[in-house]
């Protein structure tokens, strides 16, 4: 058409119609490109894990198309009709399937699986999802995975690879074999799946989705109102118990007996208790009968409920004096709050747990459970991030977007030999397990990210503030900066280790008495403010003990059962390892090696005594002697200069001795002898196989110490090895090792 020539109305109508059609086609194409994700939820427990993901999917309508299928006990009145909480969260439920055959025995569970398999094909065919999300280890979830696998629908299984002690193990692993992709909570679960021949490129180490909410939302302002609404107006925080016990389907008779003993112990313990009804597994009917026979629903100390909304349940668990039972919530979610937990029986055998969990495996007497309540009730523990760090949903959404729908659906199994237990290069998986290490020195405050192999990935140094408030604020600021940097450095922070001077109670994370170099740092609870602000478990110990731990993990003490570390710096300290364990003593005063007395009439020590090793051999003692010689014009020799503004210190004394100053040589000889005598005393008391000298003065004392041992020690101790540490940052590495070596299991 020539320029300026007007189009006729028919042509204009055609062009407008064509443009509208093209726009509609582009819109339809975009809709088709959206990932159709079906989330199927069977009960209140799995919804608490799936809901954060569902909210994440819903917040990205341009990427995902969410379909929700509800089945199982969600739709049963006896279990609270919990599908209503899904509707209250404003999710559109695509299908509700009544799949439970009542009876609460083994046959009813089998029939329920069969009924679900009959009903699911029509729903899945109608919804035609690209991916089906299945959670956990319930028999309902097994029906979902079976139906989807047979209908060639890709399955993403959440929380596979974990180990517990019931039929759930078999169901969980069966679902894992049917699933095409996996999002796991822990490194151990990832390794289990790899050892089960699952394709490691299809495994995401994400963490538990419920932790995304737990770590940010458990401290609601109205938590006291929630406690009162469920337990009564007279109940206070940390003065009540949450009890949640489920049947063990492989040992129903014993699990009912344990349930009865637990209720007896709770009645005797005489604290207000919220008892949740058991789940719908075989044996639950008998457990409810036990509860009613004991009059729990009418007992003034008990509140028996079928369901608590998850947001409120978080508050109840977070502020409880104790949680008891065999629910996975006790060994998983409760750790995020540091709530003390008593895990009864075998249902959670094999689960990774934090130090807040006390296991009563053979809960065969009322007295044993009662004693466990006495031990645990009212305690608080560091929060645990074993099962997540608050970023699981973000990882899972990104992982789903990376799934190639054009890839063949047929599963690939990776048979042995299996690669190292790391997921392949998915950029949002944080692979390097690391610790935040804090070293509180008299001059500087240091924070470092330390990897499992002892590599200092990044270090931060600031001058140590003078007041308590400024010091805590700076520690938090530096730790938060390190945590932010850790994401970009591909590091997963497991916890915080703090090394500080003075006497420390490591059990409670409290500095009892500090050194004079660190003001306002006595009777200080370090663990609580750090753990609360950073949502990480925190360990605290004396800098001498940390040096010994560093040597045990990364230095000369590796593989040694018995050794002693001596720190030679501004002060004299150390740590003792006996039978592979660090010795703290009854009042946390063990290994105060600088205060071993080697002379009845020696110089005054900073501790107030006389003749301590520290009064002879520490950097401050050498500085004192250097200043005395300088004041008497006996320090400087040919080759040394000292301007008026320069402060005399231990280095000047050492340099003078090396240049032939006999007075300085005599001071160093006395200092080395005093240290050697103290070490001889240690050899005679605990008979270690190795002595490690650490700190800035270690190399200067190595030969004098060996000489004193050869002259003064008993013949049987003269062969003890003396070595100088090769670690650059023993305090930081030791603080990190408290986190990296932390064991998560306790058995009662």
- What is the bridge-based pairing of β-strands 510-513 and 503-505? antiparallel
Q: Residue 216's closest CA among 81, 390, 46, 348?
A: 390
Which of 447, 452, 337, 317 has its CA nearest to residue 385?
337
Nearest to 308 by CA among 334, 275, 271: 275
3-state SS assignment for residue 343: strand
Tell me the CB-side half-sphere exposure of residue 467, using CA atoms within 13 A.
3
In Å, how far from its chain's centre is CA 50?
A: 21
SS3 746: coil
Cα–Cα nearest to 303, from 326, 283, 275:
275
**How many other C-beta atoms are found inside a 10 Å radius of the C-beta of residue 157?**
28
Q: Is 607 among the annotated ligand-binding positions? A: yes
Instruction: Confirm or deny that 42 is annotated as ligand binding.
Output: no
Helix, strand, coil % (nearest 5) of the chain?
Answer: 45, 20, 40
Give CA–CA dist 511/509, Å, rounded. Answer: 7
CA distance 93 to 86: 8
- DSSP string covering 539-588, please? EEEEHHHHHHHHHHHHSTTTT-SSEEEEEESSSEEEEEEETTEE---TTS
Q: At what angle do helices 252-269 and 366-376 cross, to 10 degrees?
A: 60
Q: Which two tokens stand for residue 691?
A: 């002595």
Residue 36: phi, psi to the nearest 5?
A: -85, 110
Based on the number of CB atoms within 10 Å of its own CB, is 413 exposed (0-12), middle (13-18) or buried (19 or more)? exposed
Catalytic machinery residues: 543
**Side by side, which strands form the sheet with 690-694?**
581-582, 572-578, 563-568, 690-694, 721-724
DSSP at 413: B
Q: Would the CA dihedral through 444, 445, 449, 452 be positive or negative? A: positive
The DSSP code for 106 is H
Residue 345 contacts residue 363 (beta carbons within 8 Å): yes
38 annotated as ligand-binding: no
* Nearest CA-CA partner of 483 in 423, 438, 453, 541: 438
Measured in whole angstroms, the distance separating CA 55 from the mean position of its chain's CA atoms is 25
> What is the crossing angle of helices 392-401 and 209-217, to 10°?
150
CA distances from 138 to 42, 160, 475 (A): 8, 12, 44
Q: Is residue 652 marked as binding?
A: no
DSSP per position, 613-658: HHHHHSHHHHHHHHHHHHHTT-S--TT----TTSPP-HHHHHHHHH
Q: What is the Cα–Cα distance from 588 to 507, expressed in whole angstroms?
A: 10
**652-665: b or e for each residue (b if 16 or more CB lie within 10 Å)?**
bbbbbbeeebebbe
Give dist(CA 14, CA 20) in Å, integer: 10
Give the residue ranges of the annotated binding site for Zn(2+).
595, 605, 607, 612
């Amino acid at each position: 058409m020539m320029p300026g020539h007007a189009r006729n109305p028919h042509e204009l109508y055609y062009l407008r119609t064509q443009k509208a059609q093209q726009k509609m086609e582009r819109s339809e194409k975009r809709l088709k490109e959206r990932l159709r994700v079906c989330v199927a939820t069977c009960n209140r427990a799995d919804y608490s894990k799936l809901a954060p993901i569902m909210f994440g999917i819903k917040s990205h309508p341009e990427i995902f198309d969410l379909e929700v299928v509800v089945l199982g006990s969600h739709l049963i009145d006896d279990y609270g009709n919990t599908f209503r909480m899904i509707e209250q969260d404003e999710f559109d439920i695509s299908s509700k399937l009544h799949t439970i055959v009542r009876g609460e025995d083994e046959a009813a569970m089998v029939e329920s699986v069969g009924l679900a398999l009959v009903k699911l094909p029509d729903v899945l065919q109608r919804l035609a999802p690209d991916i089906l999300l299945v959670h956990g280890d319930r028999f309902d979830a097994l029906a979902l995975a079976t139906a989807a696998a047979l209908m060639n629908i890709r399955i993403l299984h959440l929380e596979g690879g974990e180990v517990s002690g019931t039929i759930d193990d078999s169901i969980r692993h069966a679902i894992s074999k049917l699933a095409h992709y996996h999002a796991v909570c822990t490194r151990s679960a990832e390794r289990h799946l790899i050892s089960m021949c699952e394709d490691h490129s299809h495994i995401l180490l994400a963490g538990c989705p419920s932790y995304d909410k737990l770590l940010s939302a458990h401290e609601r302002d109205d938590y006291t109102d929630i406690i009162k609404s469920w337990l009564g107006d007279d109940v206070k925080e940390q003065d009540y118990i949450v009890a949640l016990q489920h049947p063990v389907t492989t040992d129903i008779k014993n699990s009912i007996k344990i349930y009865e003993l637990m209720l007896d112990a709770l009645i005797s313990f005489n604290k207000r208790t919220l008892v949740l009804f058991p789940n719908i597994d075989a044996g639950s009917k008998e457990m409810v009968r036990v509860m009613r026979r004991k009059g729990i629903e009418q007992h003034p100390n008990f509140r028996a409920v079928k369901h608590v909304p998850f947001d409120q349940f978080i508050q109840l668990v977070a502020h409880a004096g104790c949680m008891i039972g065999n629910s996975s919530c006790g060994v998983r979610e409760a750790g995020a709050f540091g709530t003390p937990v008593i895990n009864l029986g075998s249902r959670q055998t094999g689960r990774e747990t934090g130090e807040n969990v006390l296991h009563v495996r053979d809960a065969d007497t009322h007295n044993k459970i009662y004693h466990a309540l006495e031990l645990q009730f009212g305690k608080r523990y560091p929060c645990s991030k074993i099962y997540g760090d608050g970023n699981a949903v973000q990882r899972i959404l990104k992982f789903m977007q990376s799934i190639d729908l054009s890839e063949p659906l047929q599963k690939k199994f990776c048979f042995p030999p299996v690669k190292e237990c790391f997921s392949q290069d998915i950029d949002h998986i944080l692979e390097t397990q690391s610790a935040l290490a804090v070293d509180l020195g008299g001059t500087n405050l240091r924070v470092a990210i330390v990897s499992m192999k002892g590599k200092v990935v990044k270090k931060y140094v600031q001058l140590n503030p003078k007041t308590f408030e400024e010091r805590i604020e700076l520690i938090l600021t530096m730790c938060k900066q390190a945590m932010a940097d850790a994401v970009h450095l591909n590091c997963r922070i497991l916890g915080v280790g703090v090394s500080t001077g003075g006497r420390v109670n490591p059990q409670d994370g409290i500095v009892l008495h500090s050194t004079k170099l660190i003001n306002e740092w006595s009777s200080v609870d370090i663990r609580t403010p750090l753990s609360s602000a950073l949502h990480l478990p925190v360990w605290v110990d004396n800098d001498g003990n940390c040096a010994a731990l560093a040597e045990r993990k990364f230095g000369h003490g590796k593989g040694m059962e018995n050794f002693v570390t001596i720190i030679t710096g501004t002060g004299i300290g150390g740590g003792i390892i006996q039978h592979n364990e660090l010795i703290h003593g009854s009042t946390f005063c063990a290994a105060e090696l600088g205060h071993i007395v080697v002379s009845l009439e020696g110089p005054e020590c900073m501790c107030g005594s006389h003749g301590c090793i520290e009064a002879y051999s520490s950097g401050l003692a050498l500085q004192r002697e250097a200043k005395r010689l300088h004041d008497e014009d006996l320090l400087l020799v040919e080759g040394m200069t000292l301007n008026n503004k320069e402060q005399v210190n231990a280095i000047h004394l050492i340099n003078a001795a090396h240049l032939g100053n006999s007075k300085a040589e005599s001071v160093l000889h006395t200092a080395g002898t005093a240290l050697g005598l103290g070490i001889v005393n240690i050899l005679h008391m605990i008979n270690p196989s190795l002595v490690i000298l650490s700190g800035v003065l270690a190399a200067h004392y190595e030969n004098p110490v060996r000489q004193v041992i050869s002259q003064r020690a008993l013949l049987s101790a003269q062969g003890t090895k003396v070595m100088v540490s090769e670690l650059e940052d023993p305090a930081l590495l030791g603080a990190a090792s408290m986190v990296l070596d932390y064991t998560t299991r306790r058995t009662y």
